[in-house]
Structure 1
Amino acid sequence: MNPRWISAAAGLFPLTARAADGPAVLGIPVDFILFAATLLGVALFHHHTLRVALTGLIVISLYKIGFTGFHEGTGLAGWLAHMQHEWVVLSNLLGLLLGFALLARQFEDSGVPHALPRFLPDGWKGAFVLLVMVFVLSSFLDNIAAALIGGTVAAHVFRRRVHIGYLAAIVAASNAGGAGSVVGDTTTTMMWIDGVNPLSVLPAYVAAASALLIFGLIAARQQQAYQPIVLTERGGPVDWVRVGIVAWILLAAIATNVTVNTRFPEVSDAFPFLGAAVWVAILLAVPLRKPEWSLLPDALKGSVFLLSLVVCASMMPVEKLPDASWQTAFGLGFISSVFDNIPLTALALAQGGYDWGVLAYAVGFGGSMIWFGSSAGVALSNLFPEARSVGAWLKAGWHVALGYVIGFFFMLAVVGWHPHMPHKDMTAVPPAAAVAPAH
């Protein structure tokens, strides 16, 4: 999940207010070349990802300020207006990443992960069942929380020897689980708020479930060969107060998500309600059990890394997508592994003509193919720093890309491609609304 709130109906990236066209090399805008260089640097220098991301952010910002400008204006004033346009997105994401890092430790200290081995099957089946649990949790929880809970349990049942391929599978399961639910992922919530029928994204589970079978079974076998599940550990008693705190924080996030974006969508982009709700819940629970505040510095580094990439992606000139088709949706899945899926979803909503179930699966699951392709992957890498290698992720987690492809075409074969007519008449939007920032 990349929590950016929300509606593309008013023109998240306004088509009538383009920034000036900048220089291009072989027809490719320099903006994209700089962003690609940043992503390449992250892939090659995975021990210095934060420095690379911040350097890329500074270079791209200076280039945009000096040459092309922004949708919101030109020069430094345009950059400041753009950042004002993005502050709710960034604040929500920062609040979730830091808050759920503390939540994961509360869950770990509750003793539940120590007790789970007695309920999981032995062998590779236990590893697969854990992925299914993450998939189900993510259908109604934030996918960051689902991935962190899954990672926390995995650290215990596999004695902290978790295969990178299995870490990739945990992220994939968390993203796949939210693909067919309008409360399971930010992209599907965007569709819901924008007027797409919640039932229209439900068929995404046909693809997501079949993908889970592919990458889940392979990853479970990987993990079994690397470090079998340990079923002899019984641990101490469960701290039900900490369990209650975890439930309280998650319920606060769910309730805020549903309430703000269904009953008060007109103000959903004015304040980081979701991130604030998580932190209010954390602070209210402090008298019961003190959080592990020492986790925040490392979690902050990982969060700043992801936020840097999100800001870089938001400055790219992606005003127009190819015509809506299943081929375009298929390609968007791969693009979302390196490019923020929120603006892609926003543009697709403004464009219309997609099968929303197919699109929900593609943009929701696609980010799993690279560790920084989704916020769930970045959050999990805070628990397992060894995952911060694009090469290792692609080599060990190859089954995630395989699952994406098989799931996509299985869905086309079973459900088919049923493009929806644009669910809103964009020509009826008043000109002032059509160019107003929607964040």
Structure 2
Amino acid sequence: MLKVLVSLLLLTVASFASSGGGEAQVNPDLTMTWVGISCLFIFVIGYYFVAAEEKYEIDKAKPALLIGTLMFMLVAVYYSMNGLDMDAVHNEASHLILEIAGIFFFLFVAMTYIESLIHMSVFDKLKYNLVSKGYTYRKLFWVTGLLAFFISPIADNLTTALILSTVLITIEKSRKDFLVPGAINIVVAANAGGAWSPFGDITTLMAWTAGKGDFTDFLFLFPAAIGGYLVTAIILSKFVPKEVPAFDVSTEKVPVMAEGAKVVMGLGIFTIFSAVVGHQVLHLPAMWGMMFGLALLKVYSYGLKKKYGKDHFNIFHSMAKIENNTLLFFFGILAAVGALYFIGWLGLAVHVYQPSVLGPTIANICVGFLSAIVDNVPVMSAVLKAGPEMGLDQWMLVTLTAGVGGSLISFGSAAGVGVMGKLHGIYTFGSHMKYAWTILVGYFASVAIWYLQYEIIGFYHAG
């Protein structure tokens, strides 16, 4: 896989270097200097260790954070050695920190709410309600998939996939004819569901906060997202048995949601509302409304502590359980992509969007395949940094393809990586690729629906 990625990068560099640098840059083009070549090499090597985190048992945040910080420091060293304007480095780093902070704090609050709901047994209750119904494997396949599709726009696709894959392994621990299609179904549904919500996936959040579309613009992706998912799910369901799994309700303890859980769910919904209104109406960063919601949760947690005792609910315990490695991974990889942009590499990528090369539609479809090989976060960050001139229809297409394209390979999305860890030895790269053709069919179905809706009918803007 590394050879494929390196080959793609080298071919891209070779073809673009011969065609010039695109738009005029205020800062000097460093692509063919020692720092430009070194940073590209560092990025490729570092991302190899990110993709192979299971093989080397190294957390992906470590190489991402290392390359992100190192690349910018090398750029600063180059500027200092050559007497260039150091203010340019300072301003770019400051702008990048502001950009990352908006995403960082948005996810921080969202994760705090999710951990709080887990602590209050909300998801345990959901899991019990599902497995105690006496559904067949095939019906459970559909229920978990549809839940993943509609939960991920509110939560995030990784959390949704982890919760529902836990349901799968609770129902059945050995039958791969149910677990593998069921795991793929959840990953595809979570990624597709996250694609039509500004905060359902990190890629849509990045596009929304970058101003590539209003909140309602992303909702118009719903037909393409659910259409592609349903095509894959219908095909996959044919491989799932119709038997009823063995589950003795009498031996299972019925989970009870903690006092205040429903209020916390309500506060979570209001927090999302605050983020949307704050960003769309008040023109504040989306994270501002999220932090306001966190403040409300902290006040409410104080009331719960006074009423039920300090052990009932402690918001700092929820914060302590947040996956900080995920947040640090985003910081590192976005910093690395920012360095590639500052050096000049991403400016070259704009050329593929020219009609004489691939054009925006084909280029954006290819983004989906690239996000499966690499990861949708750095790919989407690269597209946003490159800043090709595109209309709303094309920005929605790249949001769709970057989101759902990660499902094509098991490690192409955070949801897929999470489920691989949850169903270790069952949901693997090999078992996923056995059914990958069904995802590919659904991917092209999503693109076809987008084309019909956006390019032929022209139905994609609330105004």
Which string of whole-angstrom CA distances, capped at 9 and with x for unpartnered residues, describes residues 297-343 of structure 1? 57223432343223323333234532353201201223344252553
Q: Which amino acid aligns with 2:143?
A: V
- Residues 86 and 44 from structure 1, CA distance in 2 versus in 1: closer, same or farther, beyond 3 angstroms? closer
1:17 Cα deviation (Å)?
Answer: 5.7
- Residues 236 and 390 from structure 1, CA distance in 2 versus in 1: closer, same or farther, beyond 3 angstroms? closer
Q: 2: CA distance between counterparts of 1:312 and 1:223?
A: 42
**TM-score normalised by length of structure 1:** 0.71
Residue number among 40, 45, 51 corresponding to 1:43 in the alignment: 51
The answer to whether the Cα contact below 8 Å between 2:405 and 2:443 also exists between their aligned partners in 1 is no
Q: 2: CA distance between counterparts of 1:404 and 1:275?
A: 37
1:333 paired residue number? 368
- Residues 404 and 76 from structure 1, CA distance in 2 versus in 1: closer, same or farther, beyond 3 angstroms? farther
1:239 Cα deviation (Å)?
Answer: 2.3
Q: 1: CA distance between counterparts of 2:273 and 2:221?
A: 24
Greater share of residues in helix = 2
1:255 Cα deviation (Å)?
Answer: 1.6
The answer to whether the Cα contact below 8 Å between 2:371 and 2:402 also exists between their aligned partners in 1 is yes
Asked if residue 411 in structure 1 is aligned to residue 449 in structure 2, the reply is yes
Which string of whole-angstrom CA distances, capped at 9 and with x for unpartnered residues, describes residues 3-37 of structure 1? xxxxxxxxxxxx77654322449xx9554443222
Residue number among 50, 53, 56 corresponding to 2:64 in the alignment: 53
Q: 2: CA distance between counterparts of 1:49 and 1:215?
A: 31
Residue number among 250, 254, 275 corresponding to 1:236 in the alignment: 254
Asked if residue 364 in structure 1 is aligned to residue 399 in structure 2, the reply is no
Q: 2: CA distance between counterparts of 1:284 and 1:83?
A: 31
The answer to whether the Cα contact below 8 Å between 1:336 and 1:373 also exists between their aligned partners in 2 is yes
Q: Which amino acid aligns with 2:120?
A: Q
1:262 paired residue number? 280
Asked if residue 305 in structure 1 is aligned to residue 329 in structure 2, the reply is yes
Q: 2: CA distance between counterparts of 1:72 and 1:263?
A: 37
Q: Which shows bigger deviation, 251-260 or 110-119? A: 110-119
The answer to whether the Cα contact below 8 Å between 1:187 and 1:360 also exists between their aligned partners in 2 is yes
2:77 paired residue number? 66
Which string of whole-angstrom CA distances, capped at 9 and with x for unpartnered residues, describes residues 101-127 of structure 1? 443343456533112224473112212
Q: 2: CA distance between counterparts of 1:141 and 1:370?
A: 22
Asked if residue 100 in structure 1 is aligned to residue 123 in structure 2, the reply is no
2:230 paired residue number? 213
1:430 paired residue number? none
- Residues 355 and 216 from structure 1, CA distance in 2 versus in 1: closer, same or farther, beyond 3 angstroms? same
- Residues 137 and 349 from structure 1, CA distance in 2 versus in 1: closer, same or farther, beyond 3 angstroms? farther
1:41 Cα deviation (Å)?
Answer: 1.6
Q: 1: CA distance between counterparts of 2:114 and 2:174?
A: 19
The answer to whether the Cα contact below 8 Å between 2:235 and 2:438 also exists between their aligned partners in 1 is no
- Residues 264 and 135 from structure 1, CA distance in 2 versus in 1: closer, same or farther, beyond 3 angstroms? same
Structure 1 residue runs without a partner (length 5+): 1-14, 424-439
The answer to whether the Cα contact below 8 Å between 2:122 and 2:257 also exists between their aligned partners in 1 is no
1:220 Cα deviation (Å)?
Answer: 5.6
Q: 2: CA distance between counterparts of 1:187 and 1:403?
A: 22
Residue number among 82, 88, 95 corresponding to 2:96 in the alignment: 82
Q: 1: CA distance between counterparts of 2:323 and 2:209?
A: 31
Q: 1: CA distance between counterparts of 2:85 and 2:102?
A: 17
- Residues 361 and 78 from structure 1, CA distance in 2 versus in 1: closer, same or farther, beyond 3 angstroms? closer
Residue number among 379, 389, 393 corresponding to 1:355 in the alignment: 393
Q: Which amino acid aligns with 2:71?
A: I
- Residues 296 and 85 from structure 1, CA distance in 2 versus in 1: closer, same or farther, beyond 3 angstroms? same
1:49 aligned counterpart, secondary structure: coil
The answer to whether the Cα contact below 8 Å between 1:99 and 1:282 also exists between their aligned partners in 2 is no
1:10 paired residue number? none
- Aligned ranges 1:126-141 → 2 under 5 Å: 126-141=140-155
Q: 1: CA distance between counterparts of 2:71 and 2:428?
A: 22
Q: 2: CA distance between counterparts of 1:108 and 1:16?
A: 53
- Residues 42 and 391 from structure 1, CA distance in 2 versus in 1: closer, same or farther, beyond 3 angstroms? farther
The answer to whether the Cα contact below 8 Å between 1:313 and 1:339 also exists between their aligned partners in 2 is no
Q: 1: CA distance between counterparts of 2:428 and 2:75?
A: 27
Residue number among 120, 123, 129 corresponding to 2:137 in the alignment: 123
The answer to whether the Cα contact below 8 Å between 1:96 and 1:275 also exists between their aligned partners in 2 is no
The answer to whether the Cα contact below 8 Å between 2:121 and 2:256 also exists between their aligned partners in 1 is no
Residue number among 186, 192, 208 corresponding to 1:176 in the alignment: 192
Identity of aligned residues (%): 16
Structure 2 residue runs without a partner (length 5+): 1-22
2:221 paired residue number? 204
- Larger RCO (alpha carbons 8 Å, 6+ apart): 1
1:385 Cα deviation (Å)?
Answer: 8.3
The answer to whether the Cα contact below 8 Å between 1:104 and 1:148 also exists between their aligned partners in 2 is no
Q: 2: CA distance between counterparts of 1:302 and 1:52?
A: 12
- Residues 329 and 93 from structure 1, CA distance in 2 versus in 1: closer, same or farther, beyond 3 angstroms? same
Q: 2: CA distance between counterparts of 1:408 and 1:204?
A: 9
1:434 paired residue number? none
2:313 paired residue number? 290
Q: 2: CA distance between counterparts of 1:413 and 1:193?
A: 24
Q: 1: CA distance between counterparts of 2:277 and 2:49?
A: 40
Q: CA RMSD in A?
A: 4.6
1:264 aligned counterpart, secondary structure: coil
The answer to whether the Cα contact below 8 Å between 2:165 and 2:423 also exists between their aligned partners in 1 is no
Q: Which amino acid aligns with 1:327?
A: I
